[in-house]
Structure 1
């Protein structure tokens, strides 16, 4: 009976995590696409043409206002898989690791939180990589018009990029298609771990400290403050990895041989500050996304009859 109740609680947490992140992504999609466009540009750091307001206005003028919602369907699918797993299973792995350690890991300690967030985000990032890649491709700029009619067409087109040039389908064709959809999985997974550990753990830790010191009580105010701090922390830590991930995912011409080659190329051509291209929009988007996610997540938990994070 207890196991069934625990399993239902975990399922509700997964649903709440997926729904809250989908809502946050829907609200911040315009910021996300401008950030992606900034990160794909390769001009020298500080160029005014890469300012987020310039990119946004240019998109609205040349591609229409609706261009700011490109990749929306892929973004929703990504949040369902990725965020449902990384945030929804965070407490499950905390419980499992705590039990396995037999008390060696403190429930209040940062070590348990980091370990749980790392496992949850690594699995979520790896599983959801194809949806992330499709989202980036659909959000990128194409001078001759977008090559993808919709999300399904984008998946099929990318699959064909990696499929073996043969009329017969077989293991090699399937493997090539999977490789194409999993392009950039290494930086995606690293980014997912960095973002989730810094975001979820900082939120959890800030909440814990504020409540322990009787500075704030459980409620929307506490959720807002803790999520504001978490949004800044994860923006600072994840932006460099995000730049590399976006460049690799949009590299349909295979310019880069891998992560290290991409990092070296960016450093050589554009300098170290290039790894913080799009940071203003990243912080605006990720900060707002983090606040919306945790405030909605905590509210859904209350409605579902699940205790606060």
Structure 2
């Protein structure tokens, strides 16, 4: 499979095809590599997005103010290692979600669906939705682990998990199988729009950079430039859904597994808008971009380079 909009390089050497199963491994590996670098930004973003949800109850803790001050606050409360809270769950999520996402997108490209008008956007959205559903339990645990901190710095509900497996076991025991997919209604739209924006803009941006001939045709800098352009679109469309998703995943539940703060995606959107104002949907935008931006850039760069290596290996093997 080659990237849509840039199926063939303009030079003499065509890009090698990559099987969907290979894309599954490469996509998951690329995004896990990116996660190692961007997880600290995810921790800060999660804390900022949870601030303010208790305003309606008369309490409004705000221990995190601005990106750099929030980084310092996390370190003071949880130590330097606190910036990598939830890393294991984050890696599990990236592997599951992006493995499925890139595999499905590769199948769509192989079938020629991305060559149809709007096909890239539709394929990216559908692939993202499937990946988000599969990875939802891991994202649930990641969010809850990253929210956990000492009482003086706590925002949002505190779940007191000890590990990823312990969290999954606790949720399963208390809420059943459905509890592991609580919050998926917010996650699927978030990843759908993000995946569609990421894959479509990356392909278009990369093709545009190649057309300008500013960089060597096969250079990794082409993918880097494409990822940088794509990252802006991803952050812009994903952040409101990201805020809602964080709130839905972290909220406490009653004995029946029903959320105590929000009834679902629409209810969460309305409550945030009414209680905190429309700009609250862009809470943590700075850290969100600082996380989504580098993550998009690194994951797409790693994916593109790994696919080149796989394609060359296939060519040499044949």
Task: Please give the TM-score of this superposition, normalised by the length of structure 1.
Answer: 0.84
Distance change in 2, residues 1:155/1:306 (3 Å): farther
- Matched with 1:179 is 178
Q: Residue 293 in 1 paired to residue 308 in 2?
A: no
Partner Cα separation in structure 1 for residue 214 and residue 122 of structure 2: 27
Task: Please give the TM-score of this superposition, normalised by the length of structure 2.
Answer: 0.82
> Of the candidates 76, 87, 92, which is equivalent to residue 107 of structure 2?
92
- Which runs of no fewer than 5 residues in structure 2 stay unpaired? 1-15, 152-157, 254-259, 314-318
Q: Residue 12 in 1 paired to residue 25 in 2?
A: no
Please give the secondary structure, in 2, of the residue aligned with 1:248. helix
Distance change in 2, residues 1:48/1:58 (3 Å): closer
> Of the candidates 36, 50, 57, which is equivalent to residue 26 of structure 1?
36
Partner Cα separation in structure 2 for residue 265 and residue 247 of structure 1: 11
- Matched with 1:102 is none
Task: State the Cα distance separating 1:26 from its structure 2 match.
Answer: 0.8
- Which runs of no fewer than 5 residues in structure 1 stay unpaired? 1-5, 99-104, 163-176
Partner Cα separation in structure 2 for residue 280 and residue 292 of structure 1: 18
Q: Residue 124 in 1 paired to residue 131 in 2?
A: yes
Give per-residue Cα distances to partners, 1:137-174, cap 9 Å, x unaligned. Answer: 11113445861111000111122331xxxxxxxxxxxx
- Matched with 1:36 is 46
- Matched with 2:276 is 270
Partner Cα separation in structure 2 for residue 146 and residue 259 of structure 1: 21
- Matched with 2:97 is 82
RMSD: 2.3
Partner Cα separation in structure 2 for residue 97 and residue 302 of structure 1: 20
Higher mean C-alpha displacement, 278-287 vs 89-98:
89-98
Partner Cα separation in structure 2 for residue 224 and residue 278 of structure 1: 24
> Of the candidates 136, 152, 163, which is equivalent to residue 150 of structure 1?
163
Q: Which residues of 2 match residues 156-167 of structure 1 at below 5 A? A: 156-162=169-175
How many correspondences in the alignment?
279
- Matched with 2:256 is none
Partner Cα separation in structure 2 for residue 62 and residue 289 of structure 1: 25
Partner Cα separation in structure 1 for residue 26 and residue 298 of structure 2: 12
- Matched with 2:147 is 140
- Give yes or no for contact 1:13–1:89 (8 Å, CA) kept in 2: no
Distance change in 2, residues 1:305/1:146 (3 Å): same
Higher mean C-alpha displacement, 194-203 vs 214-223:
214-223
Please give the secondary structure, in 1, of the residue aligned with 2:263. coil
